[in-house]
Structure 1
Amino acid sequence: MYATAAARVVAVVVHLVTAGLLLGGLTLLLGAWHRGVLVVPGLALLASGFALCPRPGRLRSELPVVREPDAPELFRLVHDVAHAVGVRRIDLVQLTPECSVTVARYGLLRTPCLLLGLPLWAAHLPQQRVAALAHALAHLSPHHVRHGALIGTALDSLAVGPGRVRTSPEARLPYGSLAQAWRAGDIVEAERHFNARGRRGDLASWAVLWIPRAVASATRRLLVRLTRSATQRAEAEAELATARTASSDAAVAVLDRHLARATALEMHRLVVEARTFGGRRSATASREDLWVKLARHATRVRADQDASRRAGQDRSLSAPCHTAAVTLDASRRRRIAAELRDPQREVALMVLRDGIPEPAGFEA
């Protein structure tokens, strides 16, 4: 509790420093009309302030976005899950080719959007889909302080800051690259001078930017450490809310990393197979049954999976058993499948054309 309060204080200080840098830079630039020497420090303060400003999240423009009028049954399920978990409703769903079901925030108002990974949606059983939605929506709880407006934006600022306040990338030319060219000796000598100037510029940038980079990195590590216990408690509450919403068995199964990895590998294999051996009709034919093939592969993986591969199985034996508060029956499943048919084809076509994204992680 005290650690979370301290984290909020640190986040407020980060935002005040960012605002102070911006206001100070503007003040110096306005005063530069009378004293030109103030231009350089003003620009330096403004650059530091802009580097620490949190950037509003953006949705990927190439992926289909689904709203409630387009898929009323899907949103009815999402609203039921949100009500069971005890969080606010989601008004936007974006279908993605990643093996994850998460909630992202976009825009200046940090509006939440559900990122529905179609590979996991196809691989999971119906009740496991409910569990995946519940686990993702549970992160909208105010107990998840790292996703909140105050600490979340501070973490974003400190993550962007060190990435933008960095030394210049090395610019080097290989010696003797044009050894057979006319006047090769002059070219090699020019390369040496160019590389020497680049090294001096890197050293000067490192000397100037080392302190703000070190301060930003240390502050971010401090925030992460202060919010660690609160995040662990919130994650435990999310797992409990998932079990109460979709049943204990579904909550355990949806956290199975082995199924997510196997689904990603099979999707990669199907894409390579379609682009290599499919012929002219490969894209059209494969996008129709890509998700069906993934579902069949997931069924085989579950059938062949022994008890030692099941994530958290031993823990679930001693945990209390919860029944499902929200169910996904056959009729609702068919209606949702009909609503997502066209967006699923669009994502499948994009995957077959561009390949699958590199898996940054597997989240339920």
Structure 2
Amino acid sequence: MSAIAEEAIQPCPECHSEIRGDSRFTLWCTACDWNVDPGTPQPDLGRLERAGRALARRHGEQLLAEMLSGSDGRPRRDTSAVAATVLAGTVHGITVALAIGGLWCVVAGWGGVGMVAGLVLLALAWLLAPRPGRMPEGRPVLLRADAPELFALVDDVARSVGTPSVHAIVVDGSINAAVTTYGIRGRRLLVLGLPLWEILTPEERIALLGHELAHYANGDIRNGLVVGTAVRSLTVWHDIVRPLPNPTGLEMIVNALYVLPRLLIGGLLILLIRLTSRAGIRAEYLADRLAARTASTPAAVGLMDRLLITESLGVWLRTEANRAALRGPRSTRHAADRADELWARLTAYVASIPEHEYERQRRVGTRRGHQVDATHPPTHLRRASLLAGQPEVAAVSPQARNNDLITTELAAARTEVARRLLRGAIDG
């Protein structure tokens, strides 16, 4: 997609109003909403994903109504959260039972039969056992010594939201950001997607950091040690009993035996999603509020608008990768120059997106119940929640940190990520 606006004018087929817009984007009528949502095919989602998205939509609307009525939105240890913890404990209990049963069979022996059965049970227990998070591989990793100014900014934001800072930052090509933990000691990790970071203003970057770090402060049950690892275990079980493709006669019998366990495991997964969905959506709204208190309400709202165009950014990046492939290798140009050019072109493209395209995305969101994924409330509801309260002023100012120095600290990562993107590797 070009960064140069191309004006198009036509009458609306429905109400005959004049439509003026940028031909690079969907032309639609602001008066009657003609063509506001031209019916882009939606991905074929599985049963679990459909259930999660439906719950995210419903709870997003319910919790928005609560917050607009004066609720503080703070996470609560309600009945559903307690039930989710009990169910997760049961899942882990089954893993422990498999381990104990495997050891007992190995010790008993039973003429070798017990040894085989025991090893199978122990292998299952090992496969399903909770594991600490791992540092992502193949992506640039920054420690404090590598980027002191960036870490100082993250520290400022962490203090504002009331949580300890991170130990490491991974930079990748995702149009996103996230927080997680890694290692046995549960060290904190921030994953920073450079395509999103690059298009944000300094204030919006602080809002992004505030939202992500707020998840540590929220005590989000979905990412906790007990429930989060139970979801992973159930997901592994669900994959193990997945029907075999193109089955032979014997495999058809195996697939038939898989039906009942798969239905049971899928049901448990859906139940766990249902029990944690409301608490998780509340945590997202609270993270948005903390982002506004950290960076200001306008900055948090601006971040929401940027999230509306992530699909367009993905298309633009894939187009750039295709162009780079057609041009072939350009060894005469330094990798850093090509990286700088990519980020400059991306920034120019985003700056050229007209307001009427953002407005269209908001209206599409209202129609579809748009959400980033099953773990977030629809983006237009998040935006409405931010705008409904008293405007917040920034607690962390971008002027307190040297943004040019932060860019310098990210220089090597910017080059590496740009090279991956130009090869068509969009992370996430």
Secondary structure of the corresponding residue to residue 70 of structure 1: coil
Distance 2:285 2:343 in 1: 32
Deviations 1:131-187 (A, max 9, x none): 1111111222343100011111111111122113434443xxxxxxxxxxxxxxxxx
Q: CA deviation at 1:224?
A: 1.2
Q: Which runs of 5+ in 2 are unaligned?
A: 1-77, 363-378
Secondary structure of the corresponding residue to residue 309 of structure 2: helix
| Aligned 8 A contact 2:171 2:191 in 1 | yes
Structure with bigger helix share is 1
Query: What is aligned with 1:48?
Result: 124
Distance 2:196 2:158 in 1: 19
| Aligned 8 A contact 1:159 1:220 in 2 | yes
Secondary structure of the corresponding residue to residue 35 of structure 1: helix
Q: CA deviation at 1:8?
A: 0.9
Runs of 4+ in 1 over 6 A off after TM superposition: none
Cα distance change of structure 1 residues 246 and 319 upon mapping to structure 2, 3 Å threshold: same
Cα distance change of structure 1 residues 111 and 167 upon mapping to structure 2, 3 Å threshold: farther
Identity, in percent, stands at: 34
Count of equivalent residues: 330
Secondary structure of the corresponding residue to residue 192 of structure 2: strand
Q: Which runs of 5+ in 1 are unaligned?
A: 171-197
Matches within 5 A, 1:327-342: 327-329=397-399, 332-342=402-412
Secondary structure of the corresponding residue to residue 426 of structure 2: coil
- Is 1:30–2:107 an aligned residue pair? yes
- Is 1:214–2:266 an aligned residue pair? no
Secondary structure of the corresponding residue to residue 227 of structure 1: helix
Q: CA deviation at 1:308?
A: 4.8
TM-score (ref. length: structure 2): 0.71
Query: What is aligned with 1:274?
Result: 324
Matches within 5 A, 1:122-201: 122-170=198-246, 199-201=248-250
Give the one of 183, 187, 198 matched to 1:111.
187
Cα distance change of structure 1 residues 166 and 261 upon mapping to structure 2, 3 Å threshold: closer
Query: What is aligned with 1:355?
Result: 424
Q: CA deviation at 1:309?
A: 3.9
Structure with the greater alpha carbon radius of gyration: 1
Query: What is aligned with 2:308?
Result: 258
Distance 1:146 1:279 in 2: 45
- Is 1:91–2:167 an aligned residue pair? yes
Q: CA deviation at 1:316?
A: 4.4
Q: CA deviation at 1:206?
A: 2.4
Query: What is aligned with 1:7?
Result: 84
Distance 2:396 2:342 in 1: 28
Distance 1:226 1:109 in 2: 28
Letter in 2 for 1:3: S
Distance 1:306 1:94 in 2: 29
Letter in 1 for 2:424: G
Letter in 2 for 1:345: T
Q: CA deviation at 1:201?
A: 2.3
TM-score (ref. length: structure 1): 0.83
Distance 1:25 1:142 in 2: 38
| Aligned 8 A contact 2:210 2:291 in 1 | yes
Q: CA deviation at 1:283?
A: 7.2
Q: CA-atom RMSD, angstroms?
A: 2.4
